[in-house]
Amino acid sequence: MHRYVQCTLVQIFNDQKILLGMKKRGLGVGMWNGFGGKVEAGEDLKTAAARELKEESGLEVLTSNLMEVGLLLFEFVNSGVVLEANVFRAVEYKGVVTESEEMRPCWFDIKDIPYKDMWVDDVDWFPLMFKQKLFYGFMKFTEKNEMFSQELKVLENVEEF
């Protein structure tokens, strides 16, 4: 039995830099990642994405400034949980970058992404995101969060999600 959990992942860009957060607790602890979390009941994806961004980084974004960049399914085969991560990018936002209980944000040059301290799939799809390609991915993880299979493809438009 699979249990699908909708979540969001927001990537903040400033010219050639991207804001990543060091996850301080929970799933992905000790790794750099975009900002996001589970979509709450009755919430649409972009509202959830903006809420998590604010909670974790201090930045505020209008939902109209969140652009779809990809859809990634992360299956944890041991538990049967499939995280459906809706990935967005934003270049317009306001507020002051602030550390939260969950994340320690830091700007990185896009030529200097700390892939070795990130989820292993990121090295494959971050470059697609930098090239402004839309993508779809399906990754399977063991109970130790080790990836053992990956399907990743570039899409023409959002309707293909």
User: Given the rule CB under 6 A, which residues bind ligand 6U4?
Assistant: 7, 9, 26-28, 33, 36-38, 74, 83, 85, 102, 119, 121-122, 139
Nearest to ligand 6U4 of 65, 100 (CB atom): 100
Shortest distance in whole angstroms from residue 50 CB to ligand 6U4: 13
Q: Can you read off the two tokens belonging to residue 33?
A: 């990642």
Nearest to ligand 6U4 of 27, 97 (CB atom): 27
Shortest distance in whole angstroms from residue 7 CB to ligand 6U4: 4
| DSSP character at residue 102 | S
Nearest to ligand 6U4 of 97, 126 (CB atom): 126
Q: How far is CA 134 from the centre of its chain?
A: 14
Shortest distance in whole angstroms from residue 160 CB to ligand 6U4: 20
Nearest residue to 64 (alpha-carbon basis) of 46, 85, 84: 46
Nearest to ligand 6U4 of 7, 12 (CB atom): 7
As a whole number of angstroms, the distance between CA 54 and CA 16 comes to 22
Nearest to ligand 6U4 of 37, 105 (CB atom): 37
Shortest distance in whole angstroms from residue 34 CB to ligand 6U4: 6
As a whole number of angstroms, the distance between CA 122 and CA 9 comes to 12
Shortest distance in whole angstroms from residue 1 CB to ligand 6U4: 19
Q: Where are the alpha helices (DSSP H) in the chain?
A: 45-57, 122-130
As a whole number of angstroms, the distance between CA 39 and CA 52 comes to 9
How many CB atoms are closer than 10 A to CB 33? 19
